[in-house]
Amino acid sequence: MPVTQIATGRAFTYVDNIGQIGASGPTLRHPVGLARGANDILYVANWGTESQPNARITKCVLSTQEWIADIGQPGSGDGEFLWPGGLIADSNENLYLTDQAASKIVSFDKDGNFLAKWGTPGSDQGQLLRPSGLAFDSDENIFISDTRNHRVQKFTKDGTFLSSFGSKGSAEDQFNMPWGIALDKDDNLYVADWGNSRVQKLSHEGSFLQTFGSPGHHKGELDHPSAVAVDKDGDVYIADWANNRVIVFEPDGTFLATLIGDATNLSEWAKGKVAANPDLAKARARADLEPEWRLWHPAALHVGDDYKILIAEAQHMRVQIYQKDPNYFEAQFTL
Amino acid sequence: MAGKDIALMAHLMRRAGFGATYEELEARAAKGYEATVEELLEPDANGVPEYDELTLARYFPDMEVPSAPALGTANFMYHLYTTPRPLVEKMTLFWHMLFATGNSKVDNPPEMLQQIEMFRQHGMGNYKELLMGVAKDPSMIFWLDNNQNHKLAPNENWGRELLELFSMGQGNYSEDDVKMTARAFTGWTILPKIPRTPYQRHHWKFIYKAEDHDNSEKTFLGHKGNFNGEDIIDIIVDQPATAQFMARHLYNYFVADEVQVPSWLDFPPRDPEAVNAIADTFVKSGFEIKDTLRFLFNSDFFKDESVWFAKVKNPAEVVAGTIRLIGDFKEPRPGVLPIGLEGAYQGQDLINPPSVEGWHTGKEWVDTGSLVRRVNFVADSLSNADMPGVQAIINRLGSNDTLTPEQLVDGCLELLGAIRVEDGTRQQLVDHVKASGEIKRGSSEDEVRAFGQRVTEVLQLIAATREYQFG
């Protein structure tokens, strides 16, 4: 597959990847959340493992891959969490993370200091059951995929309940274990309706507007999507989790492109690991590495105003980076 | 005393599954024995949902592709206590115990789980096809050194175990047959693997290397030809010894404990007629496991009360059965690791059997250490009145305001799965309850809590009975 996917005046090109397997420092472990800060900062939420608990947020520099800090730690106390489900940053670069195990929201400042924890487990209005994806609207209120209650709930960012919509089912504006959630510049909502293998676009108040994708494995079809992002032009990116790919749609739902993963190069962090062990380099040289290049359970997406497309792979311990060219002109064909 | 239908259903579910709650037993008894057997054998045709692997992958990414052996163990155990298709998992466990492959050498828990998944997908299919799948399984190839079995330097490990432990059993082949089997399987190997670092493990792949296969003529069990691995399996499956061997394994797993496998040459089957009948069905069906199991579960020798509680539960049955009984993990939650490891603490470290011979079964599951562990695990689980399964038992017994000690003991035995204990055991339980005074449900919060404690006390004592620890 070419590393550049061309579609209707746009191009999506693989650039680089960040990550390697590990429990702390310049490593990731089952990454499932992404947020960006000022000055090229990237935050990655890691699930960790139950055998060696290391849930944390990795803070690093996106372009240089310089590792800065691990934020938070596994547990149930202040500044602790398990089973992270989504990560966002507000305008002050404070971080908000869903803790699916405790059914709470945990917040930190950009230096990793614990700020607050809120949320009550349950199924009443304003209560949460395994909350996963979350997103800010233009007023910085938070929409949360209340996954095991099969609904979306809206809170202020300090945890005051505002509204709720949706119920379990497969009809329009119903959900089945929703996961990722995003808003466009007009504050419309996009919900990765995981169990229904579709993304629903809803108004800010929760009225159904549009469906992206349908269940399947062919072009433009979805199998349990985990995340959704919308760029400033309105193009919609969907992490097609069980099909191990990302699908890009035009705002009206027209299929644009499929990204399957192109990480043929080692990340800066991974280079050190391989360089330190000549046998590892030898073992890699004799193997067919293609499965390693491809996306494996993409669980989080972020598309910035700089058109950088970040894809966190829950099973590849890394973030693949693509770049969108919104004004692509075809190269001379006779070259 | 249990209704006969429910007691028989409890026996079926202990053997063909991992036990069942009393409510499930009632529902299944109402549906009928043969209909339940069919549902267990044909879950697709009976609308039983498939295992929800995607929810497991979403909430347990660390267990979906385990980096640590304990997470691989936890994955298999999680399937046992959450599956809607208990016989599928019971057969998966059966094949894991028979085609014993260990992570101690394979050192790749996700690859071990690939083998387990093959058993899950094909474990109730055709034995010959399953044997072929095992011969091409990367974990097995590495475990028994077939990747070191070359045209110019044969390695007999896989060939020997195929004949001794996976098909015919000792005494039914010669040393030359082992050598010929090894030569026939030269070239059956695995591709170089992607290293586990710096990103993640990836599955291994089988490859047949024709250039490394010994194409010379071979003589195997009296047959002569330029045999490849498929030909050897064809010949093996047609041997009467294979049918006998598999039938005895199925009898040992589902009906009653036999002596350990290495002694089968020296000791006849406990019930030769039953083993012959199973073997006969196996052959006539064309080696179809499902047809063989249908015959077995509907047979008189399986239903006979003399074989109820005549098998020591293996640790996976103790753990998974107890978790299912108390209704834990109805929703995904952290905490799968200690449940997976519990089997190991009791002597059965799933995905890591002690050798290619597998675990010794029957009374060898029990020693002083493992018995205490088994009893304590079950007793601790049944003492948790917050668990829905325990709460259901308390509520059901509490539908009468007062109970005699006999009613409480008999009720607990019944609701734990129509357990029939010896008279002496029952009397000891009754005496214990009597010593603690009147049993009254009451209505205040304290009274209801105290009643719950009286019930869970009896449940914990039953956990220590021979009959609970047997299946």
Q: Are residues B191 and B291 in the same domain?
A: yes
pLDDT at A335 (0 to 100): 83
B303 and B392 belong to one structural domain:
no
**pTM for the predicted model, two decimal places:** 0.97
d(CA B19, CA B274): 24
CA A134 vs. chain centroid, Å, equals 10
Q: Choose among B57, B71, B194: nearest Cβ to A50.
A: B71
Low-confidence ranges of chain B (pLDDT < 50): 1
Chain B nearest-CA residue for A266:
B198
Decide: helix, strand or coil at residue B137. Answer: coil
Torsion-angle region of A253 (φ positive above 0: left; ψ -120 to 50: alpha; else: beta)? left
pLDDT tier, A227 (very low <50, low <70, confident <90, very high otherwise) = very high
Q: Note whether B337 contacts A50, CB cutoff 8 Å.
A: yes
- Are residues B173 and B30 located together in one domain of the fold? no
* Residue B209 falls inside a structural domain: yes
Q: pLDDT of A46-101, one tens digit each?
A: 999 999 899 999 999 999 999 999 999 999 999 999 999 999 999 999 999 999 99
Task: Give the gap in angstroms from C-alpha A316 to the nearest C-alpha of chain B.
Answer: 6
Phi, psi of A91 (to 5 degrees): -70, -20
Q: Which of B307, B322, B346 represents a domain boundary (last residue)?
A: B307
Query: Which among A53, A55, A62, A50 is positioned nearest to A28, based on CA atoms?
Result: A55
Angle between helices B109-122 and B86-98 (to 10 degrees): 120
Distance CA B171, CA A323 (A): 67
Q: Among residues of chain B, what percentage have pLDDT more than 70?
A: 100
B459, amino acid identity: L
A329 vs chain B: nearest CA distance in angstroms?
Answer: 35
Specify if B57 maps to a domain: no
How far from B187 is each of A286, B151, B218, CA to CA, in Å?
18, 7, 15
pLDDT at B1: 41
The answer, for B330 touching chain A at a CB cutoff of 8 Å, is no
Q: Do A50 and B64 touch (CB under 8 A)?
A: no
Counting Cα atoms < 13 Å in the Cβ hemisphere of B442 gives: 14
Residue B288 lies in a domain: yes
Is residue B270 domain-shared with residue B415, that is, in the same domain? no
Cross-chain Cβ contact A51/B64 below 8 Å = no
Instruction: Please identify, among B257, B276, B307, the residue that sits at the C-terminal boundary of a domain.
Output: B307
A150 touches B at CB < 8 Å: no
- From chain A residues 201-240, the ones with a CB under 8 A of any chain B CB are 224, 226
Alpha carbons A189 and A180: distance in angstroms, whole number: 11
B361 within some domain: no
**Model confidence at A2: pLDDT above 80:** no
Instruction: Clarify whether residues B170 and B266 are in a common domain.
Output: yes
Mean pLDDT of all residues in chain A? 96
Query: In degrees to the nearest 10, what's the CA dihedral of A131, A86, A219, A335?
Result: 170
pLDDT for residue A278 is more than 70: yes
Do B110 and B103 meet the contact criterion of CB atoms below 8 Å apart?
no
- Asked whether residue B73 is assigned to any structural domain, the reply reads no
Residue B335 lies in a domain: no
ipTM comes to: 0.97
Of B194, B333, B337, the CB nearest to A51: B337
Specify whether B275 is located in the same domain as B166: yes
Residue range(s) defining the domain that contains residue B216: 126-307
| Residue B109 backbone class (left: φ over 0; alpha: ψ -120 to 50; beta: rest) | alpha
φ, ψ (nearest 5 deg) of residue A325: -105, 110
- Count A/B contacts: CB-CB distance under 8 Å: 103
Nearest-CA neighbor of B276 among B303, B254, B296?
Answer: B296
Most A CBs within 10 Å: which of B53, B54, B58, as the mutation test of the A interface?
Answer: B58
Residues A292-319 pLDDT 10s:
999 999 999 999 999 999 999 999 999 9
What does the block give as tokens for A26?
């310049």
Hey, are the CB atoms on A270 and B336 less than 8 Å from each other?
no
Give A300→chain B minimum CA distance, Å: 12
**B262, B169: one domain:** yes
B20 lies in the same domain as B138: no
- Tell me whether strands A4-7 and A245-249 are parallel, antiparallel or unpaired: unpaired
Are B273 and B219 within 8 A, CB to CB? no
The H or E element spanning position A181 is: strand A181-183
In a domain, B150, yes or no: yes
* The last residue of a domain, from among B307, B329, B358: B307
Q: Are residues B134 and B30 in the same domain?
A: no
Q: Looking at the structure, do residues B186 and B297 belong to the same domain, yes or no? A: yes
Domain identity same for B13 and B133: no
pLDDT at A1: 64
List B residues 70-89 in contact with A (Cβ-Cβ < 8 A): 70-71, 74
CB contact under 8 A, A288 and B195: no
Q: Is residue B55 assigned to a domain? A: no
Counting the structural domains of chain B, the total is 3
**Residue numbers in A near B194 (CB within 8 A):** 284, 287-289, 291-292
B198: cis peptide before it, omega within 30°? yes
Q: Round to the nearest angstrom and report the end-to-end CA distance of chain B.
A: 18
Which residue in B has a C-alpha nearest to residue A288's C-alpha?
B194
Of B101, B94, B128, give the one whose Cα is nearest residue B282.
B128
B53, B62, B63, B75, best to mutate vs chain A, most A CBs in 10 Å: B62
Q: Residue A105 — pLDDT band, cuts 50, 70, 90?
A: very high
Residue B400 has what pLDDT? Answer: 82
